[in-house]
Amino acid sequence: MDNHILQEAARSYNTPCYIFDLDAFTSRIRRMEQILGKQVNIYYAMKANPFLTAAAARAAGGLEVCSPGEYDICRRARVPAQKIVLSGVNKEEAPIRSVMADQGAGTYTAESLNQLSLLETCAAKTGRTGVRVLVRLTSGNQFGMDQEDILAAICDRGSYPHLDLAGLQYYSGTQKKGLEKIKKELEKLDTFLDFVRKHMDFEFRELEYGPGFQIPYFEGQEQTDEEILLGEFKQILASLNFKGAIFLETGRFLAAPCGSYLTRVADTKRCQGQNYCIVDGGINHVNYYGQAMAMKVPPYRYLPRDNPARPPASETSGQRWTVCGSLCTSGDILVKNLPLEGLMTGDLLVFDRIGAYSVTEGIYLFLSRRLPAVLTYTQKQGLSLVRDAFPTDILNDGFAIKHIKGEQ
C-alpha cells in the first residue's frame, strides 16, 4: 500500500486506525495455490484477523473457526457452510446442536474422546449423518489427543454411527524458522497415517496441517524468500506416502503482510536527555510476535505532514525518538530510539506487517480508550470503512449497558 493511500486514510478517517489490503491478502492465497498445486487446499485461520473473513471465504478453500463468536462472524459474512471447519478446544452442546440443525458447518474437529461423543450426540439429536470430523493429534500441549486415543476412536468407530472420521488434524505452533521442524512433523504424521492404514483396517482421506511458516517482523531478521520456501515445502509434501487431500491451515503467514496501523504524533518532549514522542495509539493496538520491551524495530514508515515551522534538516540530523502511546503505564512503548529526524506534532507514523492478531490481541479495554477504526482497501473500491472508532467506556461499567437496555 503506497504512502498516498495511507495519508488519504489518515485525512479521511483520522487516527489511530488499521488498514487491511484485501488485494494483497487474496494475492497471497492465490500464489500459494499456484506454487503448491491442486492437491493442497489453502485454509485461513480466521483468529489471525476476523476482518479478513469475507475475503478469505471468496479466495481460500475454507476457514478454521474456533468459537461461537467466530462462527457468528462467518454467518454474517455469508460464508458457505461447506467452507467452515468448526474447531476449538472447548465445544459446548448448545452451540454445536444449533450449528448442526442449521447445517452450518462442513467439517468439525474433535480434540478429545469427549468431543467425539458430543459430536455424535448432537448429530443424532439433529438427525445428521455422515458428519465430517477431523481428529486432532496433540503436539504435546492441551490441544488434541494422543495417538492411543485416536486409535481407540478408530477401533470404536461403530459407536459414532452419525460421524465420518474423515481426517487427521495437526498444528504445533507458529513462527517456525526454516523447514527442518516442518519436515520432521510431516514425516511423523506420515508414519502414523501409514500405521493406521496398514494395521487398523482404516484410512484417513484428509490431512489438515498448520505449518506455522515464519513471518519476519523486525530489523535484522532474515527475510525469507517465500517462493523458494513454498517450492521446497511442496517437495516435502510430494515425498509423503499419504496421497489424500491436504488442507493447509495458515493465518499469520497470509494475513500479517497485508495490514498497516496508522497513528499520529500527539506530543513531543525531551526528558533527561531522551527524545519522547507520544502518539494517539499505543501498545493496546500494536502487537508484534517476539517484541521484547520495545527493543526491536518493526517495519515502519515516517510520513511528515507539511509544516512550514519544521526546522531545517541540518538542525535535526541524527535525532532519535522513543515512541510511546497514550496509556498511563510506563510499559506503553512501541519502539525505542527510532531515527525520526525533524519529528513534529501531527506527523504520521505507520507500522506495517500488522495484519495478523494486533486487531484483536491488544489490551483494548485498558483506560477505556476508543477502539481504532478499521478500513479495508482494494484497487477497485479504494478505502472502505468497516468499523468506525468505537468507545470502550460503555463496556467498563454497568451503567451504560443498563441505559442501552432501558434499565434503571
Question: Tens digit of pLDDT for each residue in 254-290?
Answer: 999 999 999 999 999 999 999 999 999 999 999 899 9
Q: Strand, coil or helix: what is 19? A: strand
Instruction: Characterize the bridge pairing of strands 259-271 and 17-21.
Output: antiparallel
Q: What's the CA gap between 224 and 214, in Å, rounded? A: 8
Contact between 275 and 320 under an 8 Å Cβ cutoff? The reply is yes
Give alpha helix (H) positions in 200-341: 226-238, 252-255, 313-316
The x, y and z cell numbers of residue 353, run together, are 506487517
Identify the pLDDT of residue 311.
Answer: 84
* Residue (of 377, 381, 123, 101) closest to 259 by Cα position: 377
Contacts of 113 (CB under 8 A, 6+ apart): 145, 149, 152, 153
* Residue (of 252, 230, 213) closest to 355 by Cα position: 252
Mean pLDDT across the chain: 95
User: pLDDT grade, residue 194 (50/70/90)?
Assistant: very high
Identify the pLDDT of residue 389.
Answer: 96
> The dihedral of CA 327, 329, 334, 336: what is its sign?
positive
pTM: 0.95
Please give the full DSSP string across 321-370, using - where no structure is assigned.
EEEE-SSSSTT-EEEEEE--TT--TT-EEEEES--SSHHHHS-TTGGGPP
DSSP H or E segment with residue 245: strand 245-250
Q: Strand, coil or helix: what is 112? A: coil
* Residue (of 55, 54, 64) closest to 23 by Cα position: 55
Identify the pLDDT of residue 261.
Answer: 98
Q: What's the CA gap between 168 and 210, in Å, rounded? A: 12
Q: Which of 164-168, 277-281, 316-320 has the lowest mean pLDDT?
A: 316-320
Q: What's the CA gap between 255 and 21, in Å, rounded? A: 9
For the segment 93-121, the average pLDDT, to the nearest whole number, is: 97
Which residue has better confidence, 162 or 223? 162
Please say if the pLDDT value at position 238 is more than 90: yes
pLDDT over 90 for what percent of the chain? Answer: 88
Counting every residue, how long is the chain?
A: 408
Instruction: Map grid coordinates 530510539 to a residue.
Output: 337
- Left if phi > 0, otherwise alpha if psi is -120 to 50, otherwise beta: which for 5? alpha
User: pLDDT grade, residue 302 (50/70/90)?
Assistant: very high
Please say if the pLDDT value at position 399 is more than 80: no
For the segment 94-104, the average pLDDT, to the nearest whole number, is: 95
Q: What's the CA gap between 178 and 371, in Å, rounded? A: 36
Q: How many CB atoms lie within 10 A of CB 145?
A: 21
Instruction: Map grid coordinates 520491551 to a residue.
Output: 293
For the segment 276-305, the average pLDDT, to the nearest whole number, is: 93
